[in-house]
Structure 1
């Protein structure tokens, strides 16, 4: 069952009242093309951003979708769009000045955060807050907050500024271990190191493979080295901070490949004690983050994807948290009355999100499976009538322009089943039936 908002620590509740009084949520909705709409600037327009835009527009907000390339999924549905380098401070500042948003919703991490701080100073809401975004994109800041400030259980870790420090940290933790750049995501720059001979290669991968490496090749990235936990399975606990407090959704099980989501299902069937620990960890990390937002005069409202490790010995550990809807949470488009995107939109606009808001819409289990396409060119889909002939199945095609080498997530299959195996089998059958062709753009 979801955790009631009344279980939030009193300090967090006090700061909520202070922040809400300082920045009242008084948004004008229902007239997106009128004289005084609530204006939202969406920074990042991928598949998650597309669903966020749709939900905001359903509630009457005006949405401008921005990204670094034209034709991004959210741009295809928003009222307006902009294409520019969001890591360039001047470009981001100019766009904010032009669009005049009431709310800025970052959907990606590659953003000139200093300009977001200026926006907050000018009275614009940044979701969930500038401080939270900065902490969550920095593995060192997040781990220090989670383990050393909030006392959450995590894997043992060390930080390193050089190859020698990395060797010493790995030796102290023991092998195997995991090396990650502190500023990256989705497995980029990450390595599993099983013996000392592979440490130098892991250091190199952290420097060149991290998401922030392009254009910063001369800058050394600090890394975190963690003991490789004896992992049994992973969970995502979607957690919502809103004007009503903090609530958690039912846990989501998932499969990842090289740090990228491939499958998810909700609810994940876990023992009651594991569920209680996972939801408690999620509530505490989101409460800690929102307290920091309140201390800086921001609300801290929105959906957070809290990643949990469950070890083979039964221990439950905090791993990471994403300050926005989570890719594994796409299953909620089938499993909940209100998807994670609808919950995010409501929280952002000051609408209370309570236990009833996060209820499941099915007695069984829902599953999602990513449609990952490899190659170079435009992507065409066929055989939809046969693929969706199976009862309880659905499909979301993202509308991305194409694949440019390597692989890219181009859609997601959704299905409802009697249990986890049944739901996953249905998504597999739908994907196997769907025709996917990569063609030359010419």
Structure 2
């Protein structure tokens, strides 16, 4: 790595913030583009630009000032990424990968084309096609574009639920009788080196349909852990992608592993790696896009990660309760995202709880789960 590298990040949220924190060790000069003038990255990057990462001209002009351009959110202008690639800017993940992952229909077709196991699905154009596919229910209907953190997803149990369905282009995904939801974060550098983090087990919030907590390592038989890592490796190699890729999967009750969705960036299911692994997902992403040797993904400590969400009924300038009491518990580490305002269920931070084994980490996590509250 010669001289100071200018790294551009599309998106100024908490993922970008933690990426910048890791980038300090690499002496990177960071530029961030985000539409929110109070975005978490604002005060930790070298240059901060307020603007839309969905707008072609804005992304193109921003990217021209960068040596390397990366993302912390998928919903960016892929046409601008492609033009920047053509002009010599290193863009990771590349425009082709971003386009595919932005569209859940293209994602599903990609899995089918590359023999990657996934749930049965049908691609729908509109409400009329939904009505003519009721034989496929029960299923999840997912908007092809713009959905994340549980938005753009609805469960349709029977024909009686059609009123909850989306009228826009969508994917109808057969309901999977799964035992657990798991995730593998895998990284690949430009030289083709691939590493995977150990499998983690995800627990989802019953109301908001986003990750509530995770357990690392997952309580899954070794053979199935190896299979999950093999599948995640196949996915990133099929994309020919450089960077980090989170692969969320279902472990079914009959022992199958099916890919649910992927994210071509640091991910909620890897936050614990900052404290629990030799290399964090953020450092690994930087190593990958800088084409450095990838770091060890081995676990140093068992961990539980708890998302810190805005409390129901509070909307305004954020205040935090219970920090002192929680931090008095051994092995508890708090990461606040620098978001000025809270609202119900907004991700405001996360808590990593370490233990000598997973049982100890889980016991500590339960002891503090309801202590910290984000209010206004």
TM-score, L = length of structure 1: 0.80
Matched length: 370
Q: 1:132 aligns with which of 91, 97, 122?
A: 97
For the residues of structure 2 that align with 1:165 and 1:434, how far apart are their CA atoms? 46
Q: What residue is the counterpart of 1:203 in the other structure?
A: 166
Matches of residues 337-376 of structure 1 in structure 2 within 5 Å? 337-353=278-294, 357-362=296-301, 365-374=302-311, 375-376=314-315
Residues 256-305 of structure 1: CA deviation (Å, up to 9, x unaligned): 22331110121112112211221111111111001xxxxxxxxx321110
Q: What residue is the counterpart of 2:319 in the other structure?
A: 380
Segments of 5+ residues of structure 2 without an aligned counterpart are: none
| TM superposition shift of 1:411 | 0.9
SS at match of 1:407: coil
CA contact 2:11–2:33 (8 Å) conserved in 1: yes
Q: 1:322 aligns with which of 253, 263, 270?
A: 263
Q: 1:182 aligns with which of 139, 144, 159?
A: 144
Residues 108-163 of structure 1: CA deviation (Å, up to 9, x unaligned): 1222221111111110111121111111111111111112x111221111111122
CA contact 1:159–1:169 (8 Å) conserved in 2: no
Would you say 1:235 and 2:197 are equivalent positions?
no
Q: What residue is the counterpart of 1:153 in the other structure?
A: 117
TM-score, L = length of structure 2: 0.94
Q: What residue is the counterpart of 2:237 in the other structure?
A: 287
Q: What residue is the counterpart of 2:75 in the other structure?
A: 110
Q: Give the direction of change, closer, same or farther, for the CA distance of 1:424–1:66 in structure 2 (3 Å limit).
A: farther
CA contact 2:120–2:173 (8 Å) conserved in 1: yes
SS at match of 2:133: helix
For the residues of structure 1 that align with 2:155 and 2:347, how far apart are their CA atoms? 24
CA contact 2:75–2:102 (8 Å) conserved in 1: no
| TM superposition shift of 1:62 | 0.4
SS at match of 1:259: coil
Q: Out of 414-423 and 73-82, give the one that drifted further.
A: 414-423
SS at match of 2:166: helix
For the residues of structure 2 that align with 1:353 and 1:435, how far apart are their CA atoms? 37
Residues 352-374 of structure 1: CA deviation (Å, up to 9, x unaligned): 115xx111112xx2111011013
CA contact 2:142–2:170 (8 Å) conserved in 1: yes
For the residues of structure 2 that align with 1:412 and 1:320, how far apart are their CA atoms? 22
| TM superposition shift of 1:51 | 0.9
| TM superposition shift of 1:92 | 2.2
For the residues of structure 1 that align with 2:230 and 2:23, how far apart are their CA atoms? 29
Computing the radius of gyration from Cα coordinates, the structure with the larger value is: 1
| TM superposition shift of 1:203 | 2.2
For the residues of structure 2 that align with 1:77 and 1:418, how far apart are their CA atoms? 33
Q: What residue is the counterpart of 1:304 in the other structure?
A: 245
Would you say 1:70 and 2:32 are equivalent positions?
no
| TM superposition shift of 1:338 | 0.9
For the residues of structure 2 that align with 1:197 and 1:244, how far apart are their CA atoms? 49
For the residues of structure 2 that align with 1:397 and 1:199, how far apart are their CA atoms? 40
Q: Judging by fraction of residues, say which structure has more helix.
A: 1
Would you say 1:253 and 2:204 are equivalent positions?
no
Higher relative contact order (CA 8 A, sep 6+): 1
For the residues of structure 1 that align with 2:90 and 2:171, how far apart are their CA atoms? 32
Compute the RMSD of aligned alpha carbons: 1.7
For the residues of structure 2 that align with 1:338 and 1:386, how far apart are their CA atoms? 29
CA contact 2:127–2:165 (8 Å) conserved in 1: no
For the residues of structure 2 that align with 1:411 and 1:50, how far apart are their CA atoms? 12
SS at match of 1:75: coil
CA contact 1:238–1:303 (8 Å) conserved in 2: yes
CA contact 2:309–2:344 (8 Å) conserved in 1: no
Would you say 1:397 and 2:336 are equivalent positions?
yes
Q: What residue is the counterpart of 1:222 in the other structure?
A: 169
